[in-house]
Structure 1
Amino acid sequence: MPSIPPRASYAERPTASRGRKVAEPESRTRTPFARDRDRIIHATAFRRLKEKTQVFVAHEGDHFRTRLTHSLEVAQIARSLATALGLDADLAETVALAHDLGHPPFGHAGEDELQIQMEDFGGFDHNVQTFRVVTRLERRYPRFDGLNLTWETLEGIVKHNGPVADRLDRPSWTAVAEFDRAYDLRLSTWASAEAQVAALADDIAYNNHDVDDGVAAGLFTLEDLTQIPLIGPHVASALQAFPDCDRSIIRLEAVRRMIGAMVDDVLAETRRRAAAGKVQTPEDVRNLGHALVAFSRDTAEDLARLRAFLMERMYRHWRVNRTRSQARRMLAEMFLLFLAEPDVLPEDWGTRAAERDQAGRARVVCDYIAGMTDRYAIEEHRRLFHLDVWAF
C-alpha cells in the first residue's frame, strides 16, 4: 500500500480558513471545506449538470460525458492529485465540483449565443455565472442568497486559472467586481494550490475523455490517434500489449494510461516548482508570480497539439457543428421572446423580470436560460414555438 504523503507546508488548513461572508456556527462533523463540498452537491445547479452538454447534446447517447459526469471525473483526479501533493483534498474536490456550475445548456454553443444576446446588456461569461450561482442565484437558506461558501472556496472558483483583477472592468465581470468590493478575494494574486490542482484536473479530464468520446462517436479512430502527442504512444503500447483485445477496451486502456502519465507529470513539475520557488506557505503560493501546479513544458506543448487535433476532428466536425447551429438558434429565439414578452416566463422569473429595466430584464432572462438543461431547453423551445404541442 502506498503511504499518504505528509501535509505540505503550503497546503490550506481548514482551521485557518478566513471564514464566510455571513458568519455561521461551525459544523460539528465536517471541516469548512467539506461543508462547502456538501453544499455544492446538494445545490440545484449541480443536479442540473446531469443533462448539460460536455461536447455532445445530452440526448445523443447515454454513454457520452455530461457536465455532471465530467465534474465528478475532475473531482476524482483533483482529490488524487491533492492527496499525493499533501494538500487539502476536500478543498481541491470542492473547487472541482463547482467549476462548471455556470455553464448554460449546449456547452460552448450555448455560451457563445448568450454572449451575443447579452452583448448590449453586460455580457456573459460562464466563469462569472458560476460565481453568481454560488453567491446569488442558489436560494436554499433563510439568512442569505447563494451558498455562503468559505473565502478559500470562492477564491478558488473565481481565479483557479490565475489572477483576474485585470478583468474587473469588463461588463460581464460586474458581479465579481461588486462582490469583491464588499468581500475582498484578492483577485490580483494566484489562488491556492488546491484550486490550481482543480484547474489542472479539469485539463486532464476533458482532454482524455474527449478523446474517449470522439472515438466512441466515430469522429476519428484509434489509428488516427497513433501519431498524436500524449495519446499516440499509449494507443500504440496498448495495441502492442493486447493485440487481440476488443478495440473499445484498447481505447479505454490508452486513455487510462494517458491520465496516469499526465498526473505523474503534474506531480513532478509541481514539486520542482515548489522547490525552485522555495514555497513554504499558502501565501508563498499566492505570491509566486506564476502557477505552482502545472504541466512540464514538454507536456504542455504536446497537449497543445492534441487540442489542435481535437479542435479540427471533433469540436468542428460537421455533425457537432450541426447540433451547435440548432442549439444556438433555439437559445436565440427563446432569449428574444422572453426579453420582449417577460410575461411568458414562469411566474417567479416573470415577476423578477418585470421589476427591472431592460438590462436587468435581460440578465434575468439570461439567468433563466443559463440554468436550463439541454433537455429542458429543447422542450421549452418546442412549447413556445411549435403548435404540435397543443393537442386539439
Structure 2
Amino acid sequence: MSSEPAAADARLVEESPKDTGHRRSPYERDRARVLHSAAFRRLATKTQVHTAGTDDFLRTRLTHSLEVAQIAREMGARLGCDPDVVDVAGLAHDLGHPPFGHNGEAALDLLATPCGGFEGNAQTLRVLTRLEAKVIAPDGSSAGLNLTRASLDAIGKYPWPRRPGERKFGVYADDAEVFAWIRDGAPGDRRCLEAQVMDWADDVAYSVHDVEDGIHGGYVTLRPLLTDADERAALCADVAGAYSGESAGDLAEVLVELLADPLLAPLAGYDGSHRAQVALKATTSGVTGRFVSAAVAATEERFGPGPHRRYAADLVVPRLVRAQCALLKGIALRYVMRRSGFRGRYERQRTMLAEVVAALVRRAPDGLDPIFAALWRAAPDDAARLRVVVDQVASLTDPAAVTWHTRLVGGTAPPTHGGAA
C-alpha cells in the first residue's frame, strides 16, 4: 500500500461521465445509487428493535437508516466532511443486516461457520461491492453499486477481517481484494473520520430513538429507575456488559445525573396524548442535539475548526456523553429487547432461519433467486456455495423469511412477533 490514502473519488470499475445536463459530484451519485437500490428498499420491512410491521409508529431499519444519515450529514458538515459521503454512510450502514435484527445476525453467524461466519457490516460491504445489480466489471463479474473509495471507506465501521475472540469485523475472506482496494493507503485499522461520524450518529439514533419507541409502545417507563436503587444497579450492570467500558459503579453515578436532567422529565409521565408526544419529541431532539454538539465541540477543540476529512482528524466524544448514550441503549436492551417472553421469540426466529438455510443447502440452486442461483453454480466448493445460500437468506425481509420458511419447510411458520435483539 502507498503511504497516503489513494484517490477518494475513484471507483473500482471506471465509468464514463453521464451527460445529464447536470454535473453531479461522485458522492452525490453514490447517494443516489444507495437510495435507489433494492437492498435499501428491503430495509422497510427489516427489524430495528421491534419486529417490522407490528406497529406503524415504530422504527424499521429503513427509517433508522434515514435518521442516521440525517444526523451524520449535519454533524459531518459541521466538521467540514463532504456531507454526501457521510450521508451515504448513514444510508448504507445497515444494508447487510438480515431478517430479525441482531438475533438473525447471531443465527446466521453460527450457520455460516464453515464459510467464515456472518457479520452485518461485512455483509454490507458484500452487498455494495458484489450483490447489488448496477455495474458489471470487465471480467463479467458484478461490481455491485461501484461506489467511490471514500464512500465505501466511510461505511466501514470495522475495517478489518475476522479476528479470534472478536465478534465484530468488516470483511469476509473472499472479499479481501476489493477491501484492499478500498483501504489503499489507509493507516492500519484506523477508521476515516466519516466512518467515525456515521458510527456515532448510529449510536445516537439507536439510543435516543429506541427509547422513544419503547416509551410510546408502553415497554419503557423511567419510574422503576427513579425509585429503585437495585433496578438502577441492574441496568448499569447490563450496560457495562453490553455497551460500555465503564464499570457498573461509574455508570451508576452517570445514571443518577441523567435521570435528574430536566430534559428527561417528560419521559416519566408519558400518557400517549398529543401534549405528551410533543414533550417526548422535544426530549428526543434535545438529547440528540446535545450528543452531536458535544462531539463536534470536542473534536474541534482537539483538532481545530477544520474542515476535516478522511484521516485529517478523529472524532472525539466526551466520556460523560458516551456513557449517557450507552445508558439509553441499555434502557432499550433491558426493557424492550429482554422483556418477558423474549427468549422464546428469539429462539423461534433462529430456528426458522436455520431451517430455511438447511432447506436451501439441500435444494440449491433450485429455490434460489436467479442472481443467487447463478452465483451458486459458479461457486468453486461447498463453503462458497454455503456463502451464497447465506447471502440469499440475509437478503430476505422479515415477512419474506416467514414466507420462505412456509414454502420450503412446510406447515405453519413459527410466530416471530416481538422485539429482536
TM-score range, shorter chain: 0.7 to 0.9
Instruction: Report how far residue 385 of structure 1 moved.
Output: 2.6
Which ranges of structure 1 fall in alignment gaps of 5 or more residues?
1-15
1:372 pairs with 2:401: no
The number of residues matched between the two structures is 363
Which ranges of structure 2 fall in alignment gaps of 5 or more residues?
1-6, 227-231, 233-254, 414-421
1:91 alignment partner in structure 2: 85
CA deviation map 1:140-173 (0-9, x unaligned): 2344430111111111112x45x53785998963
1:19 alignment partner in structure 2: 10
Q: Distance in 1 between matches of 2:45 and 2:404?
A: 14
1:197 alignment partner in structure 2: 197
1:310 pairs with 2:309: no
Q: Which one-letter code corresponds to 1:177 in the other structure?
A: A
Q: Distance in 2 between matches of 1:22 and 1:351?
A: 22
What is the aligned counterpart of 1:266 among 277, 288, 295? 295
Q: Distance in 2 between matches of 1:265 and 1:66?
A: 27
CA deviation map 1:278-305 (0-9, x unaligned): 97864652xx6xxx21321111122233
**TM-score, structure 2 as length reference:** 0.77
Closer/same/farther in 2, CA of residues 220 and 120 from structure 1, 3 Å limit: same
SS at match of 2:68: helix
CA deviation map 1:40-93 (0-9, x unaligned): 111110110010000111121121111100000001111111222232111110
Q: Is the 8 A contact 1:95 1:156 kept in 2?
A: yes
Q: Which one-letter code corresponds to 1:42 in the other structure?
A: H
2:416 alignment partner in structure 1: none
CA deviation map 1:291-322 (0-9, x unaligned): x2132111112223333333222222234434
Closer/same/farther in 2, CA of residues 48 and 231 from structure 1, 3 Å limit: farther
Q: Distance in 1 between matches of 2:335 and 2:118?
A: 27
What is the aligned counterpart of 1:133 among 113, 119, 127? 127
Q: Which one-letter code corresponds to 2:150 in the other structure?
A: E
SS at match of 1:220: coil
Q: Is the 8 A contact 1:231 1:258 kept in 2?
A: no
Q: Distance in 1 between matches of 2:288 and 2:388?
A: 40
Q: In the TM superposition, what are the counterparts of 1:161-310 in structure 2 within 5 Å?
A: 163-164=159-160, 167=163, 173-181=172-180, 184-185=183-184, 186=186, 188-224=188-224, 228=255, 230=258, 233=261, 234-236=263-265, 246-275=275-304, 282=309, 285=312, 292-310=314-332
Closer/same/farther in 2, CA of residues 272 and 347 from structure 1, 3 Å limit: closer
2:408 alignment partner in structure 1: 384
Q: Distance in 2 between matches of 1:173 and 1:347?
A: 22
Cα RMSD between the aligned structures? 3.0
CA deviation map 1:192-222 (0-9, x unaligned): 3223211111111111111011112222214
Instruction: Report how far residue 21 of structure 1 moved.
Output: 1.1
1:121 alignment partner in structure 2: 115
Q: Distance in 2 between matches of 1:236 and 1:272?
A: 31
SS at match of 1:203: helix
Q: Distance in 2 between matches of 1:232 and 1:376?
A: 44
Q: Distance in 1 between matches of 2:197 and 2:134?
A: 29
Q: Is the 8 A contact 1:36 1:153 kept in 2?
A: yes
Instruction: Report how far residue 25 of structure 1 moved.
Output: 2.8
What is the aligned counterpart of 1:41 among 11, 35, 41? 35
Q: Is the 8 A contact 1:20 1:148 kept in 2?
A: yes
23-32 vs 361-370, greater mean Cα deviation: 23-32
Q: Distance in 2 between matches of 1:123 and 1:145?
A: 22
146-155 vs 21-30, greater mean Cα deviation: 21-30
Closer/same/farther in 2, CA of residues 298 and 360 from structure 1, 3 Å limit: same
Q: Distance in 2 between matches of 1:23 and 1:301?
A: 44
Q: Distance in 2 between matches of 1:125 and 1:187?
A: 23
Q: Which one-letter code corresponds to 2:97 in the other structure?
A: H
1:68 pairs with 2:68: no
Q: Distance in 1 between matches of 2:308 and 2:277?
A: 45
Instruction: Report how far residue 257 of structure 1 moved.
Output: 1.5
Q: Which one-letter code corresponds to 1:214 in the other structure?
A: G
Closer/same/farther in 2, CA of residues 222 and 31 from structure 1, 3 Å limit: same
1:154 pairs with 2:152: yes
Q: Distance in 2 between matches of 1:311 and 1:237?
A: 21
Q: Is the 8 A contact 2:89 2:195 kept in 1?
A: yes
1:353 pairs with 2:344: no
Closer/same/farther in 2, CA of residues 245 and 299 from structure 1, 3 Å limit: same
**TM-score, structure 1 as length reference:** 0.83
Q: Is the 8 A contact 1:167 1:173 kept in 2?
A: no
Q: Distance in 2 between matches of 1:153 and 1:194?
A: 9
Q: Which one-letter code corresponds to 2:357 in the other structure?
A: F
Q: Distance in 2 between matches of 1:329 and 1:166?
A: 25
Closer/same/farther in 2, CA of residues 175 and 274 from structure 1, 3 Å limit: farther
